[in-house]
Amino acid sequence: MAQAPKEARSALSRQLVTSELLDKATALFAEKGYESTTLLDIAKALGISRPGLYNYVSSKEELLTMLVEQVSRGMADVLEQLRARTDLSPTEKLRDVVALLVRQRTEHPDQFRILDRSETVLPEPVRSEHVEAKRKILREIMAVIEAGIERGEFRRVDPRTTALSLLGMCNWVAWWFSRGSDVEATVATVTDLAQSMLAQPNPVTPPSETAQAVEEIRVLLDRIAPPA
């Protein structure tokens, strides 16, 4: 019984080290350049020996693969799960999508910037996986926008153009956000801007919801004054 908690702690510890490893590596890539940074440089920045670093990564190319998994594929999978939820309205999903993207860009800006700069030189099959993940992210955001338009929560806009505009706004945060600034304040500001971009000035209640509301009112009136 004690084995499972021990394995869970080990997995969590590895995940934390891997996240720190990516942050340290991408900071060095940004400072010295990808080609000039060595695994020894990364090991020193992480405070471990080079042999110890091999427990987590065997090459700089593998770091790029890890970046794709965390920044692109990981985000695509999270957005797919969020979009599929039935307990949230399109507006709530939009806010959550933007918040997730902005928080990732503010907390790990170097990771996003290095991956963005290295996109054309990523080795296969990592490059194809990265491109497909970006397309999936775009599709998930478009689906949320289309659902919001259909429900009358969002203005009638072109979903693809709007999704690309939202992505551009979120991605650009990685380039101008300053370390030490208030992450949550930035997340809240950009999220509010995104909602304002799409909000329907005069929301239209879907017919099904209108009918349900009328039925609920009728039931309440019958309770207050039962028909003769």
Is the predicted pLDDT of residue 20 greater than 70, yes or no? yes
What is the tens place of the pLDDT at every residue in 161-219? 999 999 999 999 999 999 889 999 999 999 999 999 999 887 555 555 556 666 666 66
pLDDT over 70 for what percent of the chain? Answer: 81
What pLDDT sits at residue 29?
84
3-state SS, one letter per residue, for 1-52: CCHHHHHHHHHHHHHHHHHHHHHHHHHHHHHHCCCCCCHHHHHHHHCCCHHH
Percent of the chain with pLDDT over 90: 45
pLDDT-based confidence at residue 12 (cuts at 50, 70, 90):
very low
pLDDT exceeds 90 at position 99: yes
* CA distances to 26, 53, 110, 179, 201 from 97, in Å: 24, 34, 20, 22, 22
CA distances from 148 to 53, 154, 218 (A): 47, 5, 28
Residue whose token pair is 């693969």: 65
Domain definitions of the chain by residue range: 1-58, 62-224
Query: Residue 9 — very low, low, confident or very high, per pLDDT cuts 50/70/90?
Result: very low
Chain-centre distance for alpha carbon 213: 35
How far is the C-alpha of 9 from the C-alpha of 6, rounded, in Å? 5
Is residue 110 very low, low, confident or very high in pLDDT (cuts 50, 70, 90)? confident
- 1-58 topology per CATH: Arc Repressor Mutant, subunit A (1.10.10)
Q: Which of 26-35, 135-144, 170-179 has the lowest mean pLDDT?
A: 26-35
Residue 128 burial by Cβ neighbours in a 10 Å radius (0-12, 13-18, 19+) = exposed
Rounded mean pLDDT of 149-160?
95
pLDDT band at 69 (very low <50, low <70, confident <90, very high): confident
Superfamily of segment(s) 62-224: Tetracycline Repressor, domain 2 (1.10.357.10)
| Greatest alpha-carbon span in the chain | 88
pLDDT tops 90 at residue 141: yes
Higher-confidence residue of 184 and 68: namely 184
pLDDT: which is higher, 221 or 43: 43
Distance (Å, whole) CA 20 – CA 81:
26
Where residue 7 falls among pLDDT bands split at 50, 70, 90?
very low
This prediction has a pTM of: 0.75
